[in-house]
Amino acid sequence: MRGQRAALRPSRAQTRGAAIAALVALAPLLPAAAVALGSHEVDTRLPYLCTLPSGPQSATVRIRATVPDRATVGETIEAADVSTTLELPAAVAAELTALEAATVRMETTLTVGVGQNGGSTDVTWLGTAQPAAVPAEGPLTLTSTGDVPALTTGTAGDLTLTAGNLAVGLAPSKADGTPTGPASLSVSCVPGPDAEGRTLLAGIPVTPGSTGTPSPGAPSTPPTAPSSSPASFPSSSVIPSGQPSTPAGRENADGSAGAPRDPASVSDAGKGPRVATGNAPATAAHPKAPPCVTEKPTSTSLSAYITGYSNVRKLDGASLIPVSCVQLEQGEPVIDFRPDGTIHLLQKSEGSLRYQGRKQSPPFTSTFLTFGFAPTTATLVLEQAGPLTVESDVLLVFPDNIAETYIRVPLVLRVLDAEVNGTPLDVGPNCRTVTPLASPEPQPAKYPGDHLVLLGKGQLLNGTDATGYVLTSGGPLTGEVTVPAFKGCGAGGENLDRLLTASISGPGNHIRQIQGQTCAVGVEVPTEGQCTADRQPYVVPKPER
């Protein structure tokens, strides 16, 4: 590992973090905008019909959220405090008990229809739930939480949100924390007959903004469509909340000029609302890097850029993960005096990926030879499906302090578009891995569920040089991951799940990420060389294999 220079005068926030917290960015889809002032609570209970491996079961789904009670054209519209509660009958709990399940964990994908002025589209609200005990009798009730895509409308008129199909993944575990057999159950739920006419979650009036005054959250310049055709952003549709043109002289993370392409925002004219991608800051963070602005920093807020490679073992190649923004809130450090006489400094923090207002990596394109001969190019994105946690353990040994940091984050791999031998392959809008990427977990009982695990090791040499990985100077983070099977891939009746699963899915994919110098965002006067003038990370690392 290369030696890297640590900050000679760490800020108060960095000192509090003891230069041992860690960041990582690999890879839903989640907005940063706050709910507008003036909001109302959505609390809807609906009858659903769920199909389990044992057969159909009646269920109750409760959807809760906070939404704006009104909006203006160009204003970001976001649902906050979103939760999905699924109540399954006692027969389902009995099925799990028969499998010797003591606890069960749930992941949900709720399809929500977004409509305005006769146009409509579907978005997905992802949720995860903590493991819950399987009841000895009575119904099984599980609640998942998660953020959802933001929306921006380009025209006036009532915008509606309507509940649709619900896909549920259940992961039962035995009392000792080991998975049952089977290790997972897929449940498909649809609104029941009694839900007809009751699936409307919210109606949000959208009015024109004041003449000559941008609406709150609206971009200062007109959005720039990825296509040269103005029809890509019809005035009657909901459009991304801002893709301003790149400032002169600025390049994207891939070295190209102009605004980075966001395939998630592209749709044909007349197809209705679409998902917002967030507003880019007016000031560039650094050449060849996406914006990385912390909206409401605290004294413990940190940000950094990270990039690297992930092998795709089955295709005998490596995919470059582009420069990504990570933002972190440091937890309180704890001194741990061990029975063996050693002293450890422990710290657990949480953070998130940030790209255009969502918790995800920027879209990236990879090309491989599928099955050894067919050149396949795919545009991918890694979407954060739960908390990014950072757990650091520093052994305080004079003169060297030995740091070991584990980063855990559930990441779903989503395919936005693909080409095989130059021929476009329509993968549809919902092509993604069935579950998050999975790494070998050294403490499975403490950290259940599928998630990526990366490890950083380093030494802090009395505030001078740092080797390996530490927070203030960055460094390498490594791990190994299994890519799960794919689902929802294909359009027009064509099912491409098996093709993508056969091409990509499998274990033994090595990951190496390089994190750059952090920026102590909330410090009054950041250390020179750590932050840009507008408090974004100054150092943009280069990927290493």
Question: How do the domains of the chain map onto residue ranges?
Answer: 3-31+283-520, 39-207
Q: Are 278 and 242 in contact (CB under 8 A)?
A: yes
Give the count of beta carbons closer than 10 Å to the beta carbon of residue 435. 20
Q: The CATH number of 39-207 is which of 2.40.128, 3.10.580, 1.10.3470, 2.60.40?
A: 2.60.40
Of the candidates 328, 348, 320, the residue with the CA atom closest to the CA atom of residue 472: 328
What b/e readout covers 304-341, taking b as 16+ CB neighbours within 10 angstroms?
Answer: bbbbbbbbbbbbeebbbbbbbbbbbbbbebeeeeeeee
The lowest-confidence range among 2-16, 86-100, 320-334 is: 2-16
d(CA 116, CA 118) in angstroms, rounded, equals 6
Peptide bond into 240 cis (omega under 30): no
Question: 285 or 334, which is more confident?
Answer: 334
Question: 11 or 312, which is more confident?
Answer: 312
Q: Can you read off the two tokens belonging to residue 181?
A: 């057999």
The pTM of the whole model exceeds 0.95: no
Which residue bears the tokens 């389990």?
A: 52
Per-residue pLDDT tens over the stretch 41-98: 999 999 999 998 888 999 999 999 999 988 888 777 888 889 999 999 999 999 899 9
Peptide bond into 182 cis (omega under 30): yes
The lowest-confidence range among 168-182, 353-367, 461-475 is: 461-475
Is residue 364 classed as helix, strand or coil in its secondary structure? strand
Question: What pLDDT, on the 0 to 100 scale, is given for residue 463?
Answer: 52
Per-residue pLDDT tens over the stretch 527-540: 667 888 888 999 99
Question: What pLDDT, on the 0 to 100 scale, is given for residue 239?
Answer: 28
Question: What pLDDT, on the 0 to 100 scale, is given for residue 370?
Answer: 56
Per-residue pLDDT tens over the stretch 482-504: 999 999 998 877 888 888 888 78
Strand-strand pairing, 71-72 and 206-207? parallel
Question: 543 or 253, which is more confident?
Answer: 543
Question: What pLDDT, on the 0 to 100 scale, is given for residue 20?
Answer: 28
Who's near 72: CB < 8 A, 6+ residues apart? 206, 207, 208, 209, 215, 216
d(CA 494, CA 385) in angstroms, rounded, equals 27
Q: What is the mean pLDDT of residues 161-173?
A: 92
Question: What pLDDT, on the 0 to 100 scale, is given for residue 482?
Answer: 94
Residue 389 has pLDDT above 70, yes or no: yes
Question: What pLDDT, on the 0 to 100 scale, is given for residue 399?
Answer: 67
Per-residue pLDDT tens over the stretch 229-252: 222 222 223 322 222 222 222 233
